[in-house]
Chain A
Amino acid sequence: MTTDHKLTTVSPPGATTSRGDAVVRLAGVQKEYGDTKALDGLELEIRAGEAVAVMGPSGCGKSTMLNLVAGLDRATAGTVEVHGQDLGALDETALALFRRRHIGMIFQFFNLIDDLPALDNVALAAQLTGVSARQARRRALELLDELGVADRKDAYPAVLSGGQRQRIAVARALMNRPALLLADEPTGALDSRSGEQVMDLLIDLNQIGQTLLIVTHDPQLAHRCASRLVEVADGRVARETMLETPK
């Protein structure tokens, strides 16, 4: 463990997924924006418990790929299968429910709601599923505690540091025990110290079995947190490298 806190409440992730099962399967995925091809026959498989980092130059299609896996966007062609579900077959509502149950997302710029304190930002994800406010707040508090920011539960995002905001965003992503945690440049907006803390947190999560897919420009983040590095170029997987198990 690299953080001061034990991550117990977040586990077990994805109740029906066993370590080693394919959580993400992308086959011949294409995505076009008008005349521009963002993805061009991308193939990728991620197994349960893996931590995969995706790198590549700007515009190579890595964020597009992340959006497709998260069910935030739809592929022009090919199959996007997450947790055994073909996302292309789902309508908007089913897709939203799928995200709610199986996907957790962390953004570069945190995307917290300014009008809500940290605790309610985290509880929100569970409340949307119909969990009562009391239960949601209780679990949110446990998560904040495990991520070391319980003392900031009543603080509004505007008064939190970048690192604290990202921890709260991580807590919100973990709220519904997702099978897959997606991170889009999670340290991109943080100073180096906060970035380090977030990296440690991601490593801890992976070590307790959380499947991770991280999109980043930062080689340090990729090498520290991921067990596999996928390099994308021109909308395809250019190279895959197995890395040392994250520590």
Chain B
Amino acid sequence: MSAVWRASRGAVRRRKLQTTVIGLVVFGCTVTVVLALSVLAVTTAPFDDAFGKQRGAHVVASFDAATTTPAQLADTAHRPGVRAAAGPFAETTLEMPGDWLGYAPGSITVVGRADPGGPVDQVTLRAGRWATAPGEIVIESNDFPGRDLNVKITPKGLPPLTVVGYAASMSQSARGWVAPEEMAALHPTAYQMLYRFSSAGTDQQLHASLATATAGLPDGALTSAQTYLTLKQQFSAGADSFLPLLTAFGVLGLVIAVLLVGNVVSSAVVAGFRHIGVLKAIGFTPRQVVAVYLGMLLVPALVGAVLGSLVGAVLAVPFMKVAFGGISTGTADVSHPALWAPLSCVVGMPVLVALAALVPALRAGRLSATRAITAGSAPRAGRGLRVQRALSGSRLPRAVSLGLGQPFARPARTALTMAAIVLGVTAVTLATGLSSTIIAAGTSGSPPVGTGVEVDLGQAADHNQQEPKLSPAEIEARLRALPGTELLTRRYLTLVGMTGYSQSVYADFYGGDDWQREARVTVGRPPTGPDEVVAGPAFLAQHGLHLGDRITLELAGRRLPVAIVGEPLEGNAGVVTSNWQTALDLAPQHRVNSYEVRIASGTDSAAYVKAVRAIDPGLYPSVQEPSGATAPTVSVIGFTTVFSILLGSVAALGVFNTVLLNVRERRRELGMLKSIGMTPRQVTAMTVTSVAGLGLASAVIGVPFGILVHRVIVEHIPIMVFSESMKDVWHAPELIGLALAGVGIAVLGALVPARGAARLPIAEALRTE
């Protein structure tokens, strides 16, 4: 065993507490960073991998069959810039009735393809087989397990189709595929071309490439073009929403780790002057001394990094589930976090720790042996003396004034400790702000007092249900007449096409009383006029749209241009919400899917449900429990809380370490103070005060910084848009509470060593050299 390793091991054994502190700090920060990196990794890599494997289409283009011919479109495959192309495939839009395979009614895009392979968009068959015969269809489905094969679906006005397979396309080129021979029976209205271009890095490049490929085609031939960049954005939208949060906490974690490690090593060098002197006196070279101090850290750093990486990797799995919940991931594997994230932390964190320790370790290496042995510890004279003197003459109790003066004796150590508390306070402020914002958002659309009853209308397609015999108007009138009915909202949910996009979206229409509540608009206004919709931030981001833009909804051959007039707080990335007038304009023949009834306080909900059933056996009422926070909301609050506790604890550990060092360094002084009559309570007060002041000062910096970070984050969560009142959550009691959080972190960290100091055996302390 080398002398350096032996000395390092000895140093680790002598500083068990500090070794534990370093290990814990590195552990906490590694968990945070691994989570942040894991999410960062899955935002693009799995999509790129799966997209590459399927030779995904850079652009899925639809052409009007009335103005172009297959020959013209086939010709586009040979235009400059087109690296590969597939098609033309005949394309049609089918109108699906209610509850087909569990989906809402509406339009779906179906394409005729002879096989799932080809030079572009190699569709992955996940269950069953490809449609090869007339009357067969393969459905695009992300969640194929548990779905039945050979079930029949019946598009409006067409004979039934048998589902023979489920497939996934990373290009999301269609919602269903049939054999080309079947297409004639489905009355195709368009042709689909799938392109891969040489130049496809940006939206501009894609549009330029498409323009080159389609040059010379008749005007209006190209009816829609969906780029893979939009799909990529959709894919990562959920994970992206956590990125600002994770990045903020990841960076905070790293900075705290560097500060604390630097502090611990600096302190170890300061406290170990005599030890360094002895090492040098017995022949250690400066380089060996540096190695001893670095080695002393590597053991806890490595243990912390390995354990932190393991825990981070384990936590990343459920985290991914939340981040990718409800998102069409196709064949991309998002269930396994990228291995490079934990691996890079196992290597990177100890390196970071070593770098943080390098400056103080080099200082140890440069120390002269004589000076080190003589001094015993680094001299303190001359630092903050004026402050000490002023405090001596103050009216404060002497134990308090002595404590307040202590931070000035070691300004560098104080600065590092303070920085750690500042970051801890920032984390707590951020967590408080985010929770307040999300709670404010959650309560903004809270229903009025009273129980809700949802009344679904039976679907003929569902064998377990029967359709109502009464007309919607009659049902509504009867429901309004029921005793206890306070408010009634009618709802019509349907799948619609969107001009320019190959994927269908849901259109959710509300009418009746209190329907605006459903929109919960935080930016812009509710859709009060005809042909107006609101769409959530996730929808806008994933479709490259903005407030004020116009889109065209398509249903059953009808096209309706609508304006996006508002953004709700959050919302499904595939849903637009609108009013009853717009529903009438888009689908005059539509029918109500359900009613939402708010019953008066004191009404017996069970009796009400029974009364609803009595109106018509085709009505399926259910009492609605008050809805709690949504999954993303819970996730954001949950993760924020976990990270804040983690970083707050790490900051408290930093304080603990500093106070421990101060107590050890001032052991003899403490012994003397106790010998002249300082009581245990005064010792505790002095020790706690030495950092409580720092805590308060740190809060003065950390709270505004936390408020700033909160503002940046709430304005950059892609799946949520908050109103100004939701962002402005800072009030005097909260700010006072946060200022106390700084003191709290400091006191929490100082309490144990302070009690140790109070119990310090005086005779032993005075014997200490």
Q: Interface residues, chain A, CB within 8 Å of chain B?
A: 64, 67, 70, 72-73, 92-93, 96-97, 99-101, 105, 107, 111, 113-117, 120, 123-125, 127-130, 132-134, 137, 156, 158, 172-173, 176
Contact = CB atoms under 8 A, between A and B. Distances in A.
B763 A111 contact: no
15 contacts: A67-B763, A72-B762, A73-B762, A93-B680, A96-B674, A96-B682, A113-B669, A114-B380, A114-B381, A115-B381, A115-B383, A120-B389, A128-B398, A128-B673, A129-B677
Interface residues of B, number: 36
B389 A101 contact: no
A72 B398 contact: no
B409 interface: yes
B628 to A, nearest CB: 52
Interface string B638-681: 00000000000000000000000000000011011111111111
Contacts of B512: none
Nearest to B393: A133
Contact of A133 (B395, B677, B678, B766): B395
Contacts of B678: 96, 128
A156 B381 contact: yes
B394 A133 contact: yes
A99 B389 contact: no
Contacts of B677: 96-97, 99-101, 125, 128-129, 176
B408 to A, nearest CB: 8
Given A105-B675, A114-B380, A73 B392 contact: no
B763 to A, nearest CB: 4
Nearest to A125: B676
A133 B392 contact: yes
A115 B762 contact: no
Given A107-B766, A111-B669, A96 B679 contact: yes
Nearest to A158: B381
B385 A156 contact: yes
A85 to B, nearest CB: 14
A73 B763 contact: yes
Contacts of A92: 679-680, 759
B682 A128 contact: yes
Contacts of A127: 392, 398
Q: DSSP majority for the B interface? A: helix
Given A93-B681, A96-B674, A123 B392 contact: yes
B524 interface: no
A115 B388 contact: yes
Contacts of B682: 96, 128
Nearest to A68: B763
Contacts of A123: 392
Contact of A117 (B389, B398, B405, B676): B389
B413 to A, nearest CB: 14
Most central of B381, B676, B680 by chain A CB within 10 Å: B676
B676 A124 contact: yes
Nearest to A176: B677
Given A128-B682, A137-B393, 11 more contacts: A73-B763, A92-B680, A92-B759, A97-B677, A111-B669, A111-B671, A115-B383, A117-B389, A128-B677, A133-B392, A133-B393
B158 to A, nearest CB: 91
A99 B675 contact: yes
B764 to A, nearest CB: 8
B80 interface: no
B384 interface: yes
Contacts of A133: 392-395
B761 interface: yes
Nearest to A70: B675
B399 interface: yes
Interface in B711-765: 759, 761-763
A72 B766 contact: yes
Given A92-B680, A96-B679, A97-B677, A107 B672 contact: yes
